[in-house]
Amino acid sequence: MSAWRQAGLNYINYSQIAARLVRQALKSDLRVEAAKRDEANVRVTQWKDGKPIIDKQ
């Protein structure tokens, strides 16, 4: 069994922790660029009867 699984983590949690530690270990000029890649945007679309439900706001 892998160490991350023995620690009670799933692979996603393990990889997030590892990525954060690598970014913290970078030199300051490279750390800024890596911080930009750390941001994520997620768009959720609900579907009904095979068609997306368009939210009118």
Predicted confidence at residue 45, as pLDDT, reads 86
pTM over 0.85: no
- Tens-digit pLDDT profile for residues 12-55: 899 889 988 998 899 988 888 887 777 777 788 888 999 988 87
Number of structural domains (the chain) is: 1
Query: Which helix (H) or strand (E) segment is 28 a member of?
Result: helix 28-38
Asked whether residue 10 carries a pLDDT value surpassing 80, the answer given is yes
Listed residue (10, 40, 34, 37) closest to 22, CA to CA: 34
- Which residue range is the domain that position 12 belongs to? 1-38
Give the CATH number, domain containing residue 12. Answer: 1.10.1620.20
